[in-house]
Structure 1
């Protein structure tokens, strides 16, 4: 083998030899550093680990307490019991249906005994759920009755010979607050709704007011009626602009836009039935809405 041929590749100048020497020195230094250094990864303790574990422990304890805690049973009016509520209380489907049929006749049970007669529940179930019954304040328990016998009579307010039935559109806050269950907040809400609508046209509109319980609505219907004032400015549905229609309480902007589009393509509306053909029209409130419109 001719080594002279390869020797020319290993002929370096003085500066190159110095450079190679320095390179080897650096490589050897790095190897020594690598061998002498400890590169073992240490577990870094999270400074908040103990706090987190303590917090998680509290959460687990709360969950356990919540599972062991007994369900709180709140008082309720049995006249307005739902299917689910009745099922949870232990009533059968037939017993619940009997109560629903009784209520459809616009009748009310006023005592635990009457509730049992209507539904046909057992004495043991009655003993269990009767303490949860809460009837309106105008029904008072008679004194000296036998165990489980809960009969009620109307209070002095309703015993008065006759009371004047007022026009809800003329009622003020003081008139409304005379009724049981209506305070300052609810009375202001009723008056605000009247202001938005211009006036009430039906006592059915009480159901649209947030916060009014069924018992309070019954009281309102007993003491107030609706007299539509002649000053009510009706909306001319065939001439009203999109802005005017969208400002009406029962019409949202999207529905108002559909009304204007339908009117421009098909002509004027003759009655509420024509208007109810539009998609998303609140058909269930058509009768009330018609009293605010002029065709």
Structure 2
């Protein structure tokens, strides 16, 4: 028994060391229990901060893009869903606009937009300065501050033939400069003769009061017989025979008509990018819808 006792007997100094080791281990275990992520939490906080910074940056970019987008002028006839969202229009207001346009009707003024959409006055005041209508609409609304001169009123029989007047007569009788008179003659020759008085509008540099004076004395009396082109069935080559269409325009019109299964109103051509409706009244002289 003595040998067994001596085998398990531990010196006082070793017992103290073992006790200290147990205390250290116990303290380490407690530390890990109470502070398991002390080291990683700082790293996690840093990553979270960087992620939040990135989100804030993306939000700011979206805000900047929205601001820059709303600064661009636009035609209110072609507002998309996204543009309507950016402008602050409700879905009901957009639906009313789309229904109006579906009837082949056009918004030609701020008051038209207000009447059709029912948008609030405050929002209208904010977005209406960005409305951009075609030049021909803007020009038609301009008023003259001066009094229009009065010209003699003549009957159709009393007027001369606009297709026979010479450059000299334009200069002496109407008072237009020689280069404007030559432009009128050249335009008449390019058309192979005027078929309607409104074609004088196409002469660059001819003022409205000069045109009115010409038409008070002259009108189209002898014009060539023309075969109108059915725009819904015409080929690109046939469309190019219209004086106002070049190859690119004829191609765009042909593609647009095929995509939309034809048109029922010439003003629908205004949906074609880059197509101006300013001359639609003269273009229609050479076209038919059926």
TM-score range, shorter chain: 0.3 to 0.5
TM-score calculated relative to the size of structure 1: 0.39
- Determine which structure has greater relative contact order: mean sequence separation of CA pairs < 8 Å that are 6+ residues apart, divided by chain length: 2
Which structure carries more helix by proportion? 2
Scaled by the length of structure 2, the TM-score of the pair is 0.40
